[in-house]
Structure 1
Amino acid sequence: MEKKKELENLLVSVSENDDYAFRVFYDLYYRSVFRFAYYFLRNREACGEVVSNVFVAVWKSRVALRRIENIDAYLYVVARNEANRYLKESRTRRRCLSFEEIPISLIDRNSPPPQRRRSR
């Protein structure tokens, strides 16, 4: 019961713009949010980006923290949404080529078409 009250007090402090309380909150939840994101992404670098986005989202909506009854569930929902957003964006990035990656034959209509490689 005491831990629940401490967490409630911490969330109230964060919601009141207390930077130190937010750092304590971050340190308390970083590892579990990272592990949860890793379940979806299987990539440490991607997880780092997603977890950063999770805590930015928490900070931006900090005023609402005092009304959240289950902070673990809240963080996991935000993490899942951020992981899904990351995956969607990374799929989009993979499909897009930069101008430098486009073969010149597709740009210059006067150049001969690329030769097909024959499989042996």
Structure 2
Amino acid sequence: MLEGLDEEDIKQRCARGDRAAYARLYTFYFKPLYRHVFLFLKSKEETEEVVQDAFVKIWENRTALPEVKNLKPYLYRVTKNLLLDHLRRLQTQNKVIRIVSPETEPLEDSTSNQINHKDYIALSMEAIQHLTEKRRKIFLMRTQQELSLDEIAQELGISKSVVKKQLYAAITFVREYMHKHGGISAGILIMLLEALS
């Protein structure tokens, strides 16, 4: 029950597009969901983004709310799924950064370097989106799923040499894209030949 307003009423009103009911739902559940997500992300900005996305998703799917048996577990499940998606994206981004950054230049934990690190991640993800579908898939299978070249070849039904060529082309493109669009010196970027082994 939401402080004198039962969940059934809130669900029905939200489903009809009642923004006041939705605002009540948002106000009631925002802080607990925020606290829950913050335990995992430890970042106010990222936590807020995940929780806001959860409420957007709930609003977009509001017509299904009357079918929801228990509102609280539903809200936590939607938020948890978005949190997991966010964590997977972070894992992929960090993997890409490890691949395209030299081991000899660790990022320091200063505000300036954190901003540069975020810009670097955003630029690398932008570069990946410009890859052809096949190259992007191979690149992400290697970096996100950490599959070997043999495993990728088997899953896609192509030869290992084709996987190697496509991965090499993808890495080269990402490196050159980041150099061109980020003004990053060639010394900061590496070829990733070790990723091809």
Match of 1:88 in 2: 88
Where has structure 1 moved over 6 Å in runs of 4 or more?
A: 1-5
Aligned pair count reads 107
Distance 2:88 2:2 in 1: 41
Shift of the 2–53 alpha-carbon distance from structure 1 to 2, 3 Å rule, reads closer
Question: 1:53-85, CA deviations, whole angstroms, 9 ceiling, x for partnerless residues?
Answer: 100110011011111111111111111111111
Deviation (angstroms), 1:103: 3.2
Q: Which has the higher contact order (CA 8 A, sep 6+)?
A: 1
User: Does residue 104 of structure 1 match 2:186?
Assistant: yes
Deviation at 1:101, TM superposition (A): 6.1
Question: Separation in 2 of the partners of 1:25 and 1:44?
Answer: 21
C-alpha root-mean-square deviation of aligned residues, in Å? 2.5
Distance 1:53 1:2 in 2: 22
Alignment check: 8 A CA contact 2:38 2:47 kept:
yes
Shift of 1:88: 1.3
CA distance in 2, matches of 1:3, 1:67: 22
Alignment partner, residue 35 of structure 2: 35
> Identity, % of aligned pairs?
26
Would you say the 8 A contact 1:38–1:47 is kept in 2? yes
Q: Which ranges of structure 1 fall in alignment gaps of 5 or more residues?
A: 108-120
Distance 1:14 1:81 in 2: 21
After superposition, the Cα gap between the structure-2 partners of 1:73 and 1:81, relative to the gap in structure 1 and judged at 3 Å, is: same
TM-score, length of structure 2 as denominator length: 0.48
The 8 Å contact of residues 36 and 79 in structure 1, kept in 2 or not, is answered as no
Structure 2: state its 5+ residue gaps.
98-119, 124-177, 190-197
CA contact (8 A) 2:15 2:62 kept: yes
- Aligned AA for 2:186? I
**TM-score between both structures, scaled by the size of structure 1:** 0.76
Q: Structure 1 residues 73 and 9, CA, compared in 2 at 3 Å: closer, same or farther?
A: same
Greater CA deviation, 56-65 or 90-99? 90-99
Deviation at 1:105, TM superposition (A): 5.1
Structure 2 equivalent of residue 57 of structure 1: 57
